[in-house]
C-alpha cells in the first residue's frame, strides 16, 4: 500500500475526520478541502523535500563568522512550505489561518517529515512558537510576532536548555532585569535585558527568514538580586534577533543575541543546532537606554506574567512532544518504504523446501524469506501503530478544542496521559524500525548510497530532545497516572477495555481482545504495586520499563482498533483494498504475538519495585 | 573498576587461564608472560590507537585513482601492532609465533578493539588469513604467504561476497580457469586465472603493507564450461596483489586485481571497504603465458583441493565470527566507559526525597539517579556478559587444541553451537549498550564532540558482516542444535544446569539458579516444539527470536558463573576488590531481573511455530 492509502484509511475510515466538518469551526471544510491540503503537501514534499534530504545531511550548516549557511534547496523548501499556509494551518481565518482540524494538519505535515525531516527548517518550531503567542501573548505581540511567523517572514525557536541545565530546567541561570525605569511601558510588553547562554537551540541562527523570534526562559532576580531557586522563578520572553516596531517592521537594530557555535550532530543535520549567547555585548543595542547601559543585554519582552513562564512554555512543549513523536514515526516509515522496495527487488537465496534448497533454481526476491517478512512486518507494526497513536492524539486535540464542553476535562486528562507515550514510543521503536530497514538491506544498508542509515542517525535524536526518555517516564508514572487520584489512567483503561469488548465480537480478533484485557490488567496491577509503599524513590526507580510497557499496551490497543475497522471493511472490498486490510490484520497479529508479550519482563520489575538499580553504588561500577 | 581489572578477573579468577601453562604447548609461559603481553597491548592501544580513533572516522579512506590513502596515524598503528608479534600470537615458535593460548590472545586484542576498532588495519583478517594457510596451505604457500603475513610485511583479506551474492554464497560467479597447460606445475600451487567481482572486501586495497594476500572463493567450470550450481563448485585461491617468487620476494609484476571503488560506510571507516575487480585486464600480467592470453585474468594459486574451498574458508570464518563478537563487545565497552565517566562528572537534577525535590540543594552527578544507574548497569551487564562469553569460547578453542583428546569432539561441538551466539549476541546488545551510552550523555551524546555516537555507528556493522543475524539464526536453529541428534544442545544444557546446581549452594544466587533452570527448560521445550512437525519452513520462520532467546539464556549462564566466583571471592577481599565483586553481583541481578524474562516473548512464537511472518503475502504490505 502507498503511504497515502494508509493515511486515508486512518484519517477517514478509522478516525472519521471528515465528520468534523459538522462542527462550526470546520464548517467551511469538506473531505475535498482536506484532501486538497493533503495533495498539496504530498506533492510539495515529493518535489521540494525528498530530493534534497541527503544534501541536508552532507552539506551541514556552517558558520562563516557572520552567518549560517544552508543549502539553497533548504531555502527553497522553506519558502515553498510557507507559501502553502501550513504554518498557520490550525489558526483562525482572521489571522490568516486555515482552521484545519489538528488531525488533518498533522496528517499533512507527516509528508514533510517522511520526505526530509531536516529540509526546509523546523516549521514545527515556528508554528508552535506562534501558537503559544496566540494563547499567552498580548494582542500586539500576536500581531507583530505571531502573524509574521505564520506568514513565514519570521521563524521561531524555543530556548529552554542551558549548558549546565538540560533536563533540570529549574537550574537555568539566564537573568532578565528590567530595561530602564520605563520598562513596563513598552507597547510590545514589559521590556527586559537578558543575559545568559542557551544550548541545543534548533534553528537558532540562519538566513531562512527575515527575523528569528526566540522564546526564552529566564529568571527575574528577586529583590535581593538573587535568582529564585526551582521552576517558580522562571519567566518567558520574546527575544527577536532583529528589533521590530509596533508594525512588525525591522528597525534595523541587531539585538544582542550572538551565535556562540553550531553543534555538530550525528544526524538531523539540516536544522542548525546552536549555542546562543544572550546579552554578552557582542551586538550592543540601544546604549542610550535610561539605565545608562552600554547596550549589552538582549532586549526581551515578557510574555504572560512573571514567574509563570514554564506553564506558558508547556503549551508549546506538549504540542512539540506530539510533533516529535510524529517525526520519529515518519522517519521510521521512510525506512520501511525504502526497505520494502529493496526487499521486492533484491534477489538472494532460495526458499527452504522439504528437501532443503535447490541450488539450480533461480534466486528469489528476499521478501519471500520469512525472516525478511518478519523485519518488514515489525516495521509496519511499529510505524503504522505509532502513526495511529499520533493521529489519535491529534484527534483528541480537536475534541478538546471543538467537542462538547462537558467531556472536555476528561479529554484533556486522556491527552495528558498519552502525551509522554506519544513522544517516547515512536522515538524508541521507529528507531528500531530504522535499524531493521538497514538490516533488510544487508551491507548496502550500511553504506551512504542508500537512505536508511541517515534515517537511523536522524531518528536517534528523538529519544533525547523535548524531554528525554527518562523524563517522559517520570512524567508518566510520577505525575500523569497518579494525578486526580488516578483518573487519567482510569480513562485510558476504560477506552482500552471498550476496544477489547468490541473486538471480542469479531471472531478473528477474539484472542487479541483477551490478550489486551490481560495486558491492561497487568498494567493496572503494576501501577498500583509500584506505588504500594507510597515512596517516590521506590516507585520511580523503574519508571522507564513502565513507560515501555505502557507504550506497548497503548500500541496494541491502537492495532486492535485498526483491526476492528479493517475486519469490518474486508467484506466486499476491491482487491487492492482487501490486500491492505489483510496486511493490517497481519500487522496486528504480529504485534500481539511478537510484541505485546514483552510487557511481562518490563512490568515484572515495576511490580516488584526491583531495587537493583536504585541501590547500585557508584563505586561498584 | 578499570577494564584491566575486569579482564584479569575473567581471565585468571574465573577461567583460570594461568593453569594452561601446565600444558606442553604453553610450558614456556607463566602468568608473568601473559601479563606482559597484556601490558604491552594495553599500552600500545592507549598510545597508538585511542588518540586516533576519531581521525580514522573523519579522514575516511580515499582513492586518488592510483592508491588508497589512510591517515598517517593508521600506518603508524599498523606498524606498531605488527612489531608486537601479535599477528602470530597463537602460532608455533618455529614460524615466529608466540604459542599463546587463544584466550590470552583474545584478551590482548580486546584492548585494540576498545581503543580504535578501525585504526591500524584489520589485523584480525591478516591473522585469520595466515592461520587458514597454516592449516590448509602447502608448506611453500605457508612460507611465502603466511609467514610474511605474520611478520606484518603482507596483509590479508577474505573475498567471499559478490555484488549479486552476499548471504547466498552458492551464487558466486567468479571463475577460475587453469593458467596454461603447465598450470599444475607451479611451485606456489596449481595456477589459475580468476575473473569476477568481489564486494565488501575489507582492507582490499591500501598501502599499509608491501603486498596484499587475497583469499578468494571462485568456481572452476566443469568440463562443459559451465559453473557448478551450489556451494559444491567453490574452490579457494590465493591471489596476491603483487606476484611473488618462491622466496616471498615481490617480482615487480602487478597482478590483475583492480580497485573498482570504495564503499562509503556509516561507520567502521578506518578500514577501507572495497569492490575489487579480478581479471578484467586493468593490469595485464604475464601476457606471454603458454595459453597465448592477453594477460587479463588475475593469477591465483589453489589452496587445498578443488571444490572444497568453502570448508577451508570456514576455518577462517569461525575464527572471524568470534572476533566480530569480541569487536562488538569492546565497542560496547568503550561506550560504557565513556558514559560512566560522564555520569560521574555531570551534575544535573536532584534525588526525589519523600517531600519531593529541594531546589535549593546543589545538583548531584547524574550517576545518582536510578534511571542513569539502570542504563549503566545494562551496559555493564551486556558488555561484561558478552566479554565472558567470548573468552569462554576462546578458552574452548584452547581446550580443543591442547586439552585431552577424549573430550575433544564434545568441545568442538559445544564451540560449534556457541559460535553463532558469540557472533550475534554482542552485535545486537552491545549496540544497544552504545545507544544507552548516547542516552546517558543526553544532547552531548548526539554530538560529534563525544565519542559515543561513533561507537554506535561503528557497531552497527556487526549484525551484518560475517553472516547476518538472520544467517546466524538459521545456522543455530537449522543446523547446530539439531546436528548429531541434538547432542550439541544437550552439551550446552548440561553445562548450564551444572552452573545452576553450583549456584544453588550460594544463598545469594539461589533465585537466579532456579531462574536459569527454568529458562533452560523453556529453551529446550521451544527447540523441540519448533521442530515438532519436522518441516524446516515452520521451524525456521522464527529462527531469529530463537537466536535472541538462546543468547539471553547463554549470557545469564555466563553471569551466573561470574557471580558464583565473585561471591566466593567476596570474603576477605580488599575494599576495591570487594566493590568490584558487589558490582558483578549487581550486574548479575540486573540481568536476571530485567533481561532474562525477555525470553518468554521470543520463545512464545518459536514454540507455537507462529506463522504470521511465514504466511504474510507480498501484496499485503
Q: What is the mean pLDDT of residues B175-190?
A: 96
- Phi, psi torsion values for A560, nearest 5 degrees: -65, -40
Please name the residue that has the C-alpha cell 531462574.
B515
Q: Does A612 touch chain B (CB under 8 A)?
A: yes
- Phi, psi torsion values for A251, nearest 5 degrees: -85, -10
The reported pLDDT for the residue numbered B538 is 96
- Phi, psi torsion values for B306, nearest 5 degrees: -55, 150
Q: Does A385 touch chain B (CB under 8 A)?
A: no
A38 to A77, A86, A103, A210: CA distances (angstroms): 17, 11, 12, 28
DSSP-derived 3-state class of residue A114: helix
The reported pLDDT for the residue numbered A295 is 83
Higher-confidence position of B358 and B497: B497
d(CA B353, CA B370): 13
The reported pLDDT for the residue numbered A317 is 75
At A289, the pLDDT band (50, 70, 90 cuts) reads low
Domains A1-120 and A308-348+363-467 share a fold: no
**Residue B114 pLDDT > 60:** yes
At B60, the pLDDT band (50, 70, 90 cuts) reads very high
Of residues B99, B211, B107, the one with CA closest to residue B155: B211
The grid coordinates of residue B578 equal 570487594
Q: Does A621 touch chain B (CB under 8 A)?
A: yes
**Residue A290 pLDDT > 70:** no
B396 to A282, A414, B87, B392, B555: CA distances (angstroms): 66, 56, 20, 6, 16
d(CA A258, CA A253): 14
Rama region for A193: left / alpha / beta (φ>0; ψ in -120 to 50; rest): beta
**Residue B480 pLDDT > 90:** yes
Say whether A540 and B370 touch across the interface (CB within 8 A): yes
Q: What is the mean pLDDT of residues B335-340?
A: 98
The alpha carbon torsion through B57, B59, B64, B69 (nearest 10 deg) reads -80
Task: Please check whether residue A211 is in contact with residue A244, taking contact to mean a CB–CB distance below 8 angstroms.
Answer: yes
The reported pLDDT for the residue numbered B232 is 84
Task: Please check whether residue A118 is in contact with residue A85, taking contact to mean a CB–CB distance below 8 angstroms.
Answer: no
Provide the number of CB pairs (under 8 Å) joining chain A to chain B.
Answer: 273
What's the gap in Å between the CA of B462 and the closest CA on chain A?
10
* Mutation choice for A interface testing from B612, B614, B619 by most A CBs within 10 A: B612
**Residue A573 pLDDT > 90:** no
The reported pLDDT for the residue numbered A121 is 80
pTM for the model: 0.98
d(CA A46, CA B382): 42
What's the gap in Å between the CA of A594 and the closest CA on chain B?
6
d(CA B306, CA A540): 64
Give every CB contact of residue B505 below 8 A, 6+ residues apart in sequence: none
Q: What is the mean pLDDT of residues B295-317?
A: 91
The grid coordinates of residue B462 equal 556487526
What's the gap in Å between the CA of B113 and the closest CA on chain A?
20
At A513, the pLDDT band (50, 70, 90 cuts) reads very high
pLDDT, tens digit (0-9, with 9 covering 90-100), for A72-103: 999 999 999 999 999 999 999 999 999 999 99
Class of the domain covering A308-348+363-467:
mainly alpha
Task: Please check whether residue A64 is in contact with residue A57, taking contact to mean a CB–CB distance below 8 angstroms.
Answer: no
Say whether B617 and A593 touch across the interface (CB within 8 A): no
Percent of chain A with pLDDT over 90: 91
Chain B residues in contact with A374 by the CB 8 A cut-off are 541-542, 544, 613
Chain B residues in contact with A621 by the CB 8 A cut-off are 1, 340, 367, 376, 380, 583
**Residue A17 pLDDT > 60:** yes
The reported pLDDT for the residue numbered A296 is 87
Q: What is the mean pLDDT of residues B283-306?
A: 85
d(CA A544, CA B376): 14
Beta bridge partners of B69: B62
At A354, the pLDDT band (50, 70, 90 cuts) reads confident
The grid coordinates of residue A12 equal 477517514
At A358, the pLDDT band (50, 70, 90 cuts) reads confident
At A490, the pLDDT band (50, 70, 90 cuts) reads very high
pLDDT, tens digit (0-9, with 9 covering 90-100), for A317-339: 777 899 999 999 999 999 999 99
B499 to B229, B244, B481: CA distances (angstroms): 46, 53, 20
The reported pLDDT for the residue numbered A292 is 59
Give every CB contact of residue A500 below 8 A, 6+ residues apart in sequence: A513, A514, A516, A517, A520, A560
Chain A residues in contact with B265 by the CB 8 A cut-off are 446-448
Task: Please check whether residue B490 is in contact with residue B416, taking contact to mean a CB–CB distance below 8 angstroms.
Answer: no
Say whether B537 and A167 touch across the interface (CB within 8 A): no
Q: What is the mean pLDDT of chain A?
A: 95
The grid coordinates of residue A88 equal 498557520
**Residue A182 pLDDT > 60:** yes
Q: Which residue of A has its CA nearest to B537?
A: A352
d(CA A614, CA B352): 12
At B296, the pLDDT band (50, 70, 90 cuts) reads confident
**Has domain B308-349+362-467 been given CATH number 2.40.37.10?**
no
User: B155-307 architecture in CATH?
Assistant: Beta Barrel (2.40)
The reported pLDDT for the residue numbered A534 is 95
**Residue B571 pLDDT > 80:** no
Say whether A612 and B590 touch across the interface (CB within 8 A): yes
d(CA B451, CA A430): 24
Q: What is the mean pLDDT of residues B559-564?
A: 98
The reported pLDDT for the residue numbered A395 is 96
Percent of chain B with pLDDT over 90: 92
B401-405 contacts, C-beta under 8 A, 24 or more apart:
B401/B25, B401/B102, B402/B20, B402/B23, B402/B24, B402/B25, B402/B26, B402/B101, B403/B23
The reported pLDDT for the residue numbered B288 is 67
Q: Is A109 exposed, middle or buried (0-12, 13-18, 19+ CB in 10 A)?
A: buried
At A294, the pLDDT band (50, 70, 90 cuts) reads confident
Beta bridge partners of A194: A176, A298
Q: For residue A600, give the nearest of B474, B540, B597 by CB distance.
A: B597
Q: Does A214 touch chain B (CB under 8 A)?
A: no
Say whether B613 and A265 touch across the interface (CB within 8 A): no
Beta bridge partners of B447: A265
Domain ranges of chain A: 1-120, 154-306, 308-348+363-467, 476-613
Kindly report the three-state secondary structure assignment for every residue of A496-542. Answer: HHHHHHHHHCCHHHHHHHHHHHHHHHHHHHHHHHHCCCCCHHHHHCC
Give every CB contact of residue B571 below 8 A, 6+ residues apart in sequence: none
The reported pLDDT for the residue numbered B122 is 87
pLDDT, tens digit (0-9, with 9 covering 90-100), for B368-386: 999 999 999 999 999 999 9
**Residue B291 pLDDT > 70:** no
Q: What is the mean pLDDT of residues B224-249?
A: 95
d(CA A523, CA B190): 69
Comparing A165-169, A499-503, A615-619, B448-452, which segment has the lowest mean pLDDT? A165-169
- Phi, psi torsion values for A232, nearest 5 degrees: -65, -30
Say whether A612 and B593 touch across the interface (CB within 8 A): yes
d(CA A554, CA A548): 10
Chain A residues in contact with B347 by the CB 8 A cut-off are 164
**Has domain A1-120 been given CATH number 1.10.540?**
yes
- Phi, psi torsion values for A75, nearest 5 degrees: -60, -45
d(CA A564, CA A15): 12
The grid coordinates of residue A584 equal 493490517
Q: What is the mean pLDDT of residues A363-383?
A: 97
pLDDT, tens digit (0-9, with 9 covering 90-100), for B351-367: 877 777 888 899 999 99
Q: Does A325 touch chain B (CB under 8 A)?
A: no
B81 to A93, A300, B78, B99, B203: CA distances (angstroms): 71, 59, 5, 17, 16
Q: Does A468 touch chain B (CB under 8 A)?
A: yes
The reported pLDDT for the residue numbered B290 is 54
d(CA A445, CA A441): 5
The alpha carbon torsion through A611, A617, A621, B2 (nearest 10 deg) reads -170
**Residue B427 pLDDT > 90:** yes
Q: Which residue of A has its CA nearest to B2?
A: A621
The grid coordinates of residue A588 equal 496486528
**Residue A575 pLDDT > 90:** no
What's the fold here for domain A154-306? Butyryl-CoA Dehydrogenase, subunit A; domain 2 (2.40.110)
Amino acid at each position: 500500500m502507498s503511504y497515502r492509502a494508509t493515511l486515508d484509511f486512518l484519517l477517514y475510515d478509522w478516525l472519521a475526520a471528515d465528520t468534523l466538518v459538522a462542527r462550526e469551526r470546520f464548517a467551511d471544510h469538506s473531505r475535498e478541502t482536506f484532501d486538497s491540503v493533503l495533495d498539496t503537501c504530498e506533492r510539495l514534499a515529493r518535489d521540494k523535500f525528498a530530493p534534497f534530504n541527503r544534501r541536508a545531511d552532507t552539506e551541514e550548516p556552517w558558520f562563516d563568522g557572520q552567518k549560517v549557511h544552508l543549502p539553497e534547496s533548504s531555502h527553497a523548501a522553506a519558502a515553498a512550505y510557507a507559501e502553502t499556509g501550513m504554518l498557520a494551518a490550525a489558526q483562525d481565518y482572521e489571522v490568516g489561518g486555515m482552521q484545519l482540524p489538528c488531525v488533518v494538519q498533522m496528517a499533512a505535515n507527516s509528508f514533510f517529515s517522511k520526505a526530509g525531516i531536516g529540509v526546509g527548517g523546523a516549521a514545527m518550531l515556528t508554528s508552535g512558537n506562534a501558537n503559544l503567542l496566540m494563547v499567552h501573548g498580548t494582542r500586539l505581540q500576536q500581531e507583530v510576532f505571531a502573524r509574521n511567523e505564520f506568514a513565514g517572514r519570521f521563524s521561531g525557536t524555543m530556548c529552554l536548555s542551558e549548558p549546565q541545565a538540560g533536563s533540570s530546567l529549574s537550574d537555568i541561570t539566564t537573568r532578565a532585569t528590567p530595561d530602564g525605569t520605563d520598562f513596563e511601558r513598552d507597547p510590545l510588553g514589559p521590556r527586559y535585558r537578558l543575559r545568559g547562554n542557551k544550548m541545543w537551540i534548533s534553528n537558532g541562527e540562519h538566513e531562512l527568514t527575515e527575523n528569528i523570534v526566540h522564546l526564552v526562559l529566564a529568571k527575574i532576580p528577586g529583590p535581593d538580586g538573587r535568582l529564585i531557586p526551582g521552576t517558580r522563578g522562571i519567566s518567558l520572553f520574546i527575544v527577536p534577533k532583529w528589533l521590530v516596531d509596533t508594525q512588525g517592521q525591522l528597525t534595523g537594530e541587531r539585538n544582542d543575541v550572538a551565535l556562540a557555535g553550531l553543534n555538530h550532530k550525528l544526524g538531523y543535520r539540516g536544522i542548525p543546532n546552536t549555542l546562543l549567547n544572550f546579552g554578552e555585548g557582542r551586538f550592543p543595542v540601544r546604549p542610550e537606554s535610561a539605565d545608562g547601559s552600554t547596550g549589552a543585554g538582549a532586549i526581551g519582552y515578557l510574555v504572560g506574567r512573571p514567574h509563570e513562564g514554564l506553564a506558558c512554555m508547556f503549551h508549546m512543549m506538549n504540542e512539540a512532544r506530539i510533533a516529535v513523536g510524529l517525526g520519529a514515526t515518519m522517519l521510521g516509515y521512510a525506512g520501511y518504504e525504502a526497505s520494502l522496495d529493496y526487499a521486492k527487488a533484491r534477489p538472494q537465496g532460495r526458499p527452504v523446501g522439504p528437501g532443503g534448497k535447490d541450488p539450480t533454481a533461480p534466486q528469489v526476491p528476499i521478501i519471500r524469506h520469512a525472516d525478511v517478512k518478519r523485519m518488514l512486518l515489525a516495521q509496519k507494526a511499529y510505524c503504522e501503530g505509532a502513526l495511529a497513536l499520533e493521529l489519535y492524539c491529534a484527534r483528541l486535540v480537536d475534541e478538546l478544542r471543538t467537542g462538547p464542553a462537558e467531556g472536555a476535562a476528561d479529554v484533556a486528562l486522556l491527552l495528558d496521559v498519552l502525551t509522554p507515550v506519544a513522544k517516547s514510543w515512536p522515538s524508541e521503536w521507529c528507531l528500531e524500525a530504522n535499524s531493521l530497514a538497514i538490516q533488510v538491506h544487508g551491507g548496502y544498508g550500511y553504506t551512504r548510497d542508500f537512505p536508511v542509515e541517515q534515517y537511523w542517525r536522524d531518528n536517534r535524536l528523538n529519544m533525547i530532545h523535548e524531554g528525554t526518555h527518562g523524563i517522559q517516564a517520570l512524567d508518566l508514572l510520577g505525575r500523569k497516572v497518579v494525578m486526580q487520584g488516578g483518573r487519567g489512567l482510569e480513562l485510558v483503561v476504560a477506552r482500552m477495555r471498550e476496544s477489547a469488548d468490541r473486538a471480542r465480537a469479531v471472531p478473528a480478533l477474539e484472542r487479541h481482545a483477551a490478550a489486551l484485557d490481560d495486558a491492561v490488567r497487568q498494567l493496572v496491577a503494576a501501577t498500583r504495586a509500584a506505588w504500594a509503599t507510597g515512596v517516590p524513590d521506590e516507585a520511580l526507580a523503574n519508571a522507564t520499563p513502565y513507560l515501555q510497557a505502557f507504550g506497548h499496551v497503548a500500541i496494541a490497543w491502537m492495532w486492535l482498533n485498526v483491526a476492528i475497522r479493517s475486519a469490518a471493511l474486508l467484506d466486499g472490498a476491491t482487491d487492492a483494498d482487501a490486500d491492505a486490510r489483510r496486511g493490517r490484520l497481519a500487522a496486528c497479529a504480529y504485534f500481539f504475538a511478537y510484541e505485546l508479550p514483552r510487557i511481562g519482563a518490563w512490568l515484572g520489575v515495576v511490580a516488584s519495585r526491583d531495587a537493583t538499580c536504585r541501590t547500585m553504588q557508584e563505586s561498584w561500577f
